[in-house]
Amino acid sequence: MSHAAAAAATVAEASSSFSSPRVLSIQSSVVHGYVGNKAAVFPLQLLGFDVDPVYTVQFSNHTGYPVIKGHVFDGGHLRELLAGLATNGLICHTHLLSGYIGSQSLLEAVAAVAGELRSAYPQLTYVCDPVLGDEGKLYVSQELVAAYKASLLPLANILTPNQFEAELLTGLEVKSEEQALQAAAALHDMGPHTVIITSLASLPHPEYSSPRLSEEVSGQPAAAIAAAHSTPQQQQQEQTAANDEHQQQQQQQRSERYITLIASTRVAQAPGCPAAFRMRIPKLQGYFTGTGDLLCALLLAWSHRYPDNLAAAVEHAVAGLQGVLQLTAAAAGPAVLASTDERSAAVFRAKELRLVQGQQQLLQPDIKIRVEPITL
């Protein structure tokens, strides 16, 4: 074979390496249960992706259990693995997914890997889940917040922070939809073209303004007593105040029943598809682990399927997650879901995600929740 023919064959082989989607998934893993890579690999494979998993930690089980055994890996471990792949011509990834990164060394290695993968395949899609903390509590050292901003966000295409992580990365308060959109815009400016803030608590719900609320005000005996000792104008003012207070209570109760997702993209969308939207997701009873890891994997998969329709990708991903959670909740049973024993191995074991049993829900999600477009 001539040198020209050999070169052409090499180019053809390299091109064919990227003909089907392949994900390098860098995140935690456990022997038992489904968090990190254990929650991501199987769903991605079901949806047509080859997956090469790299573990940032390898634990016996997730950290909610009373006992955890295993190992934490550093950046040298990741670099060594990638060197082996590169030597054998196995850098052929169309997607990169990163989750829990516990050290500066590892984060720097992930950034280097992202650059190497993008050099091999410039169209690489990098989905970054910045696992920093939740509900005001950091899972990692404070220095990693700055490291994410400096090293990973400029390389990421899709970013999936929760409410607390969006606040950490932007320095902005995120307590309303408007503030969430401001945070998303700030994150866009740091690099990612698509930002999905996956879980905002207690945002206002549109049903709050229902005219029926004024008809549902309780406490008629008190109102009757007040009416007997006040003028018509005072009665109207008192009724209005009572209605307002009741409406606020209704708002709080309803908002606590939902988690709000806010998404924004600067990628041109297909006609009629919104570039920014909200989704209100009903809460299920109980606490489940691995849900964020599963959601990010599904977002990667469905975003690949719908590159110019983020709304469809999110609807499919959330429906798949909800389907698995409903199966998991049903299998666990009411007693387990209502348990207040936060360190019981038996309770955590009963609430491990039913991924294998839920594969039909992952492949063909039943979409019951639709996005609501937001006008920017």
Number of continuous H segments (helices) and E segments (strands) in the chain: 14, 12
Give the C-alpha separation, 162 to 15, whole Å. 37
Coil, strand, or helix at residue 28?
strand
168/222 Cα distance (integer angstroms): 47
Please tell me what DSSP assigns to residue 266: -
- What whole-number distance in Å separates Cα of residue 32 and Cα of residue 256? 32
CA-CA distance, 289 to 266, in Å (whole number)? Answer: 31
Tokens of 71: 């190992």
> Of residues 129, 134, 189, 293, which has the active-site annotation?
293
Residue 81's CB: how many other CB atoms inside 10 A?
Answer: 18
With contact defined as beta carbons under 8 Å apart, do 258 and 207 qualify? no
Helix (H, G, I), strand (E, B) or coil at 237: helix
Return d(Cα 114, Cα 360) in angstroms, integer: 32
CA torsion 122-196-189-158 (nearest 10°) is -10
Taking the mean position of all CA atoms in its chain, how far away is CA 195? 10
Q: How many CB atoms lie within 10 A of CB 146?
A: 12
Active-site residue flag, 134: no
330 Ramachandran zone, left/alpha/beta (phi>0; psi -120 to 50)? alpha
Nearest C-alpha neighbor of 53 from the set 78, 84, 76? 78
CA distances from 222 to 217, 219, 226, 227, 235 (A): 11, 6, 6, 9, 12
Active site residues: 293
